[in-house]
């Protein structure tokens, strides 16, 4: 009657964590794998990007496209380098990043509790949901004229647009998390004597945690858009959006591309960070239940 | 040996296992014909109210049943016959619309530490390890034992279901059968009087299922709980139950209560090959056959 499961890892780059942890009846076999195997994916990415940049450089030098909006990649990196050296980029990058982070913190501080409350209370959901859904669906750009009217061109307006962009996806996800708690887990909680408070701390909140994270993930994506439109259209004279705007006005294509590259790296890094966090927080969600 | 229900009203006071003096361990220690009912349902009608359509769906109608202390009662019936509703009433999740359900002489008002449940879909907390899932059954109680006592009981329950060595594993790392062992350990760890099982082996594959049945029979012979076991498998009901309650469909009423006079242990023995097993199985099937066909027509 002993449970017997045999696990042999066949993949070169991954070992099955379950097999190692459980011990018990499982059998784990060591595999001979090249020392460089873990770096294979990184190597492929580097080579891939290298080829991409070389092709870019060749096409740009051939001047197939107008150099005014298609600069050489070498010029772009040069603009990035001088931008950082002369202190043109760093303060704007810092401004944008700190605005985004503060905005996200405020959004989380508002969105998580309100979302949880909406999930837990039918009445709260009924009262708040028309506003929440209207604000979730409304394109953020539409609010810019109103916000400028109310808050002027300062940092307050830029922050507000980030919060308005990020807070609703966070709220909606938290609400969905609470509402989709597996009913049989709730029944198990009742059978095994969990009181109202324990139901929240031991079942509902842990179940909702991955939803909170994916809410924040969406909040980051929306917040980035909010940040850029605030800086581009708000005319506040600061942030990466301002750099883009000014480079465009000055026909400074290398600087324009350099800023876009920085933005791309920034978004990818944030998204990857959240994905990593999601896996750490809810490892069971990767595996089919 | 099988008495036929006289209408829906039905009271079975005798306990066949004790009279039969069968070779099994648990039935010989079960209380004699002097009845000691631990769960009593009196003309229970249950169902679900739908306020929007202003209707109520009757799942069970006028069901009366006494379950003896230490008895293994299997309830079998087609899908949607209200057998889950019955166990949910005993657990304290739903209240009857009419009639009463009593446990130990007290009407059921919500869940209680005297009753534990094993769920079809395991209902384990995925963010907790095996041992912390089992611990969950104890840690919420007001008068819980000391930490070391809790740990000792968890270890005992896990060894009872054969999961020693898997304490630190997470449910998603285990097979379905092993997950349900965790579910059983969690239900047994507090040593409740009553074990409610809602199609516990319904989601595990056929081979694991037989192995789990045998093991469960062995475990219950040791712990001697009162068990209410819901299944839609006639074989499973006959193999495990001291009595089998056959419930008919739409709305659910008790069609017959069948005494199973097979000696225990049944699963490690050759009960399944015996003539008596075949007879009982055939009899229950004949009771349910019309139901199954009726359900086909209704669709």
Query: What are A70-112's pLDDT values in tens digits?
Result: 899 999 999 999 999 999 899 999 999 999 999 999 999 999 9
What residues of A are in contact with residue B136 (Cβ under 8 Å)? 188, 192, 202
Quick one: which of A159, A161, A136, A131 has its CA closest to A146? A161
Query: Could you give all domains of chain A from N- to C-terminal order, each with its CATH number?
Result: 83-285 (1.10.3720.10)
Instruction: State the Cα–Cα distance between residues A28 and A6, nearest whole angstrom.
Output: 8
What residues of A are in contact with residue B140 (Cβ under 8 Å)? 192-195, 198, 202
Residues of A with CB under 8 A from a CB of B: 1-3, 5, 18, 21-25, 182, 184-185, 187-188, 190-195, 198, 202-203, 206, 282-284, 287, 289
Instruction: State the Cα–Cα distance between residues B39 and B225, nearest whole angstrom.
Output: 13
Closest partner CB to B166 (pick from A24, A282, A289): A24
Could you tell me which chain A residue has the CA closest to the CA of B183? A188
Closest approach of B16 to chain A, Cα-based (Å) = 31
Fold of the CATH domain B2-114+194-216+225-298? Rossmann fold (3.40.50)
Q: How confident is the model at residue B295 (pLDDT cuts 50, 70, 90)?
A: low
State the average pLDDT for chain A. Answer: 85
Q: Is the pLDDT of residue B25 over 80?
A: no
- Report pLDDT for B297: 55
Q: Do A191 and B170 touch (CB under 8 A)?
A: no
Q: Tally Cβ neighbours within 10 Å of residue B249.
A: 20
Q: Do A206 and B140 touch (CB under 8 A)?
A: no
Instruction: State the Cα–Cα distance between residues B118 and B200, nearest whole angstrom.
Output: 6
Q: How confident is the model at residue A200 (pLDDT cuts 50, 70, 90)?
A: very high
Domain ranges of chain B: 2-114+194-216+225-298, 118-191
- What would the two tokens of residue B61 be? 């109608």
Instruction: State the Cα–Cα distance between residues B197 and B83, nearest whole angstrom.
Output: 11
Read off the pLDDT of residues A140-167 as tens digits, 9 standing for 90 and up: 888 888 888 888 888 888 899 999 999 9
Closest partner CB to A22 (pick from B111, B124, B173): B173
- Report pLDDT for A19: 45
- What would the two tokens of residue A228 be? 């850029």
Work out the average pLDDT over B127-143. Answer: 92
Q: Do B186 and A192 touch (CB under 8 A)?
A: yes
């Amino acid at each position: 009657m002993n449970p017997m499961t045999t696990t042999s890892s066949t993949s070169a780059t991954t070992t099955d964590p379950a097999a190692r942890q459980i011990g018990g009846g499982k059998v784990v076999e060591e595999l001979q794998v090249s020392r460089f195997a873990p770096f294979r994916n990184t190597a492929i990415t580097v080579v891939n990007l290298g080829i991409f940049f070389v092709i870019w450089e060749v096409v740009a030098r051939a001047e197939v496209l107008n150099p005014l909006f298609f600069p050489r990649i070498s010029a772009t990196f040069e603009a990035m380098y001088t931008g950082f050296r002369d202190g043109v980029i760093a303060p704007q990058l810092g401004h944008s990043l700190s605005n985004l982070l503060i905005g996200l913190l405020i959004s989380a501080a508002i969105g998580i509790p309100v979302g949880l409350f909406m999930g837990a209370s039918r009445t709260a959901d009924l009262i708040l949901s028309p506003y929440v859904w209207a604000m979730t669906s409304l394109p953020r750009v539409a609010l810019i004229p109103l916000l400028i009217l109310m808050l002027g061109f300062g940092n307050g307006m830029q922050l507000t647009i980030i919060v308005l962009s990020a807070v609703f996806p966070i709220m909606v996800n938290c609400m969905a998390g609470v509402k989709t708690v597996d009913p049989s887990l709730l029944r198990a909680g009742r059978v095994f004597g969990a009181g109202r408070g324990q139901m929240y701390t031991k079942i509902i909140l842990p179940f909702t945690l991955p939803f909170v994270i994916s809410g924040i993930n969406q909040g980051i994506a929306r917040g980035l858009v909010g940040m850029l439109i605030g800086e581009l259209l708000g005319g506040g004279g600061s942030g990466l959006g301002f750099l883009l705007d000014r480079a465009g006005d000055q026909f400074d294509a290398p600087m324009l591309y350099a800023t876009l590259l920085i933005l791309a790296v920034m978004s990818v890094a944030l998204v990857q960070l959240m994905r990593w966090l999601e896996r750490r927080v809810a490892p069971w969600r990767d595996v089919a239940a | 040996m099988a008495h036929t229900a006289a209408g829906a009203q039905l009271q079975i006071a005798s306990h066949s296992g004790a009279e039969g003096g069968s070779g099994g361990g648990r039935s010989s220690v079960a209380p004699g014909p002097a009845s000691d009912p631990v769960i009593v349902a009196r003309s229970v009608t249950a169902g679900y109210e739908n306020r929007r359509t202003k209707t109520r769906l009757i799942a069970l109608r006028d069901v009366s049943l006494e379950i003896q202390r230490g008895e293994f009662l299997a309830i079998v019936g087609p899908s949607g016959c209200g057998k889950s509703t019955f166990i949910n009433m005993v657990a304290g999740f739903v209240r009857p619309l009419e009639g009463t359900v009593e446990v130990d002489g007290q009407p059921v008002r919500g869940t209680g530490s005297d009753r534990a449940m094993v769920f079809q879909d395991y209902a384990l907390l995925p963010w907790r390890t095996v041992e912390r899932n089992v611990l969950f059954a104890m840690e919420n109680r007001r008068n819980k034992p000391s930490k070391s006592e809790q740990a000792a009981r968890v270890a005992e329950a896990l060894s009872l279901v054969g999961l020693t060595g898997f304490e630190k594993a997470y449910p998603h790392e285990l097979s379905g059968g092993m997950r349900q062992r965790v579910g059983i350990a969690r239900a047994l760890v507090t040593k409740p009087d009553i074990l409610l099982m809602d199609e516990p082996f319904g989601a595990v594959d056929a081979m694991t299922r037989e192995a789990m049945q045998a093991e469960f029979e062995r475990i219950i012979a040791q712990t001697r709980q009162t068990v209410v076991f819901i299944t839609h498998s006639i074989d499973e009901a006959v193999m495990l139950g001291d009595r089998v309650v056959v419930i008919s469909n739409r709305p659910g009423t008790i069609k017959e209560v069948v005494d199973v006079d097979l000696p225990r242990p049944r699963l490690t023995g050759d009960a399944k090959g015996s003539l008596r097993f075949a007879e009982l199985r055939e009899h229950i099937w004949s009771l349910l056959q019309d139901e199954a066909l009726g359900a086909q027509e209704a669709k």
